[in-house]
Amino acid sequence: MEVTVKSGGETKKFRDGLGLKKIRDKSKPVFESHYVGSWCLVAMVTGAKHPTTESIYYMVPLRWHRRQLHRLEPSKGGLRRRYGGTISLGLKKGTRVRHVKYGLCYIGGNLRDRLSLHSLKNGKRLTQDGKREDFKLLTRIPFRTQLLSTAKAG
C-alpha cells in the first residue's frame, strides 16, 4: 500500500472543481463541516466525481464510572454505598433493550430494584423506573449510534 500526500491547496482546488463547499462550523452535523475534505482525498485517488451520499453516522462510546472502593465515608453499620461498575441488576450496562413505553434504548445504572434507561440518540436518561418485565433484551453494543441521513440520488 502506498501513501499519497496531498496539500490543502490541492484538495481545495479539487473540491472547488466539483462545486463542493466546506464550512468551518464543526458544531453543525453536516457533510460539509466534517467529511467533505476526506471525501475529496479519496476521490482524488479513486476518480469519483460526486458523493453518492452525504449521510453522517455518529458513533459515541458509552462511558461508565469505574468502581471506587473507598469513595465515601461508610454509613452506619460500616457499609459504603455502591458506586460505579459495569453491571446493573445482573445486566451489562449499555445493553440494548426494547421497552414497552420508550422503544429502543439502553440500560444505564440502577437504584434498588429499578433500572435507568437511556436514549440511543443523545444518551439522556428516559426513566429511573425501568422494570425487567417491561423490556426485551436485544444485544450489547458499547456505542451510542445515530444516522443523520441526507442521502442524494446519483
**152 — pLDDT class (breaks 50, 70, 90):** low
Within this chain, do residues 40 and 110 fall inside the same structural domain, yes or no?
A: no
Predicted pLDDT at 131: 93
Question: Which pLDDT band, with edges at 50, 70 and 90, does 153 fall under?
Answer: very low
Split at pLDDT 50, 70, 90, the class of 82 is: low
**Residue 22 domain-assigned (yes or no):** yes
Q: Which domain does 106 fall in, by range?
A: 61-145
d(CA 38, CA 70): 47
- Tabulate helix, strand, coil % of the chain (nearest 5): 20, 30, 50
- Asked if residue 3 belongs to a domain, the reply is no
Which one-letter DSSP state was computed for residue 115?
E
Q: What are the grid coordinates assigned to 103, written together?
A: 422503544
For residue 118, what are the β-bridge partners?
A: 106, 125
> Is residue 112 predicted with pLDDT exceeding 80?
yes
Closest CA to 21 of 55, 152, 12: 12
Residue 152 lies in a domain: no
Where residue 69 falls among pLDDT bands split at 50, 70, 90?
low
Q: Is 46 part of any domain? A: yes
Taken in order 30, 32, 34, 35, is the CA torsion positive or negative? positive
| Predicted pLDDT at 154 | 42
Average pLDDT, the chain: 84
* pLDDT per position as a tens digit, 17-45: 999 999 988 888 888 888 898 899 999 98
pLDDT band at residue 10, thresholds of 50, 70 and 90? very high
Q: Say what the pLDDT of residue 148 is.
A: 78
Q: Are residues 68 and 135 in the same domain?
A: yes
